[in-house]
Structure 1
């Protein structure tokens, strides 16, 4: 999946860097540790290739003079404002019932953190070893944060391909209340002539686009819908507001926002 990456760190943070390297090696990523005198903006400009770095804030993905990580602490403001009534995702995923929820498309984990904060027990799936390790570090830091620890304790990270995990759950007759899907690269509706050209992708997504997907193939998530429907009575798909339906399948219900929507698929007669 990933042949190898450089991991930069200053001497002070070499022990942490070695721990990250060991975790990545256990997931099939061979990391070349490289000590540098100073990890600063100039260094990243002069070393634009895709790499990792470790510093006082944790593990970072770096490329093109930029760096990013799943910064769960930065989500605290949103969480403090969030409520079951104010968040559309809460209504779509029926979070008032405190569901057992599988987030099969982890991304940076921000939606999972919000859903856990609002009461869901979340199983967060990620198959890419580098992104999983970044999420693992974010989760570790959140568990140590006085405000975030309660939500983080309701999140279980699982290093797995989502399709394999959902098939295994079905084979073991293990149901879930909700499966949440937010594909990293949602297919745009080519027939929406009124849609203006998309603004430049945010910095975080630019770096994720360099890391994902493997072999140049976009994972649109279409195959996950049927697998999710096999184990959950409610499947919720987050989409750009004007995007086509996932797998071409119209939902039973929608929640519409200005920039995105949530499509819901219900299996009332699900038998496992």
Structure 2
């Protein structure tokens, strides 16, 4: 996991950069601030290493001439088109019942945003300090947005390892309606060649793959499935359509789409 990273900013945003530096320091990430004249596309191309940057729009992750943040505002158009009937994820997660839901594999939070918009009360868990800080910043920026404010109110961000968090909930005898899993690196499954033929990974995901480690079972989510089944009435796993079952466990039900599917595991 990244323990040290550079942060680029312009003089006008130095105070804001120092705020993020302090936040990340509290999460055990050493941030070295570089104040530059102009934070533009040319500068990012000339500085391809993984870094953070701060501008008037907040905190970004950058590498290879690209920059990325969890842009929840850009999801507004999709949310406005979404309905309980049109979204397969809504049927899979039973969102019509406005469930108390854990998203244990946060990513950029786009699925959580959709589920919150459709009525779920979402606990979004992320263990990586930089990704969590990016998610936290995105939520903060949208707390006063006329359209998204009510949606982000229904999202609770938790900075924790998902397995540890689920184990804690089991020990405390807590229960949830739904736990949602969308493992970050499903391409490492045995159907690897079939999955690689799908569309090229989006730029946002390319940067996430640079930030997040690919080693260890946590990235495949096998251990999370076993914990989730103990904790929730319904566990939903999002997979590429051709991927193997998580933890080699056959689901109780499936919803199939063109590119992905949702595997369901119900408590007995």
TM-score bracket relative to the smaller structure: over 0.9
Q: How many residues align?
A: 267
Match of 1:95 in 2: 95
Report the 3-state secondary structure (helix = DSSP H, G, I; strand = E; otherwise coil) of the residue aligned with 1:227.
Answer: helix
Q: 1:44 and 1:191 mapped to 2: Cα distance?
A: 36
8 A contact 2:169–2:175 mirrored in 1: yes
Match of 1:127 in 2: 127
Gaps in structure 1 of 5+ consecutive residues: none
Are residues 1:114 and 2:114 paired? yes
Note the 1:55-204 alignment, pairs <5 A.
55-187=55-187, 189-191=189-191, 197-204=197-204
Q: 1:135 and 1:112 mapped to 2: Cα distance?
A: 11
Match of 2:40 in 1: 40
Q: Offset of 1:18 from its aligned partner?
A: 1.0
CA deviations on 1:170-225 (whole Å, 9 max, x unpaired) are 000011110000001114553587666344321111111110116x4471111100
TM-score by length of 2: 0.96
Match of 2:247 in 1: 247
8 A contact 2:183–2:221 mirrored in 1: yes
TM-score by length of 1: 0.95
CA deviations on 1:98-133 (whole Å, 9 max, x unpaired) are 000000000000000000000000000000000000
8 A contact 2:195–2:243 mirrored in 1: no
Gaps in structure 2 of 5+ consecutive residues: none
CA deviations on 1:213-239 (whole Å, 9 max, x unpaired) are 16x447111110010011101000000
Q: 1:192 and 1:26 mapped to 2: Cα distance?
A: 38
Report the 3-state secondary structure (helix = DSSP H, G, I; strand = E; otherwise coil) of the residue aligned with 1:147.
Answer: coil
8 A contact 1:188–1:243 mirrored in 2: no
Q: 1:196 and 1:217 mapped to 2: Cα distance?
A: 21
Task: After superposing the two structures, state which structure 1 stretch, 187-196 or 108-117, moved more.
Answer: 187-196
CA deviations on 1:1-56 (whole Å, 9 max, x unpaired) are 32211111111111111111111111110100110100001101111111000001
Match of 2:28 in 1: 28
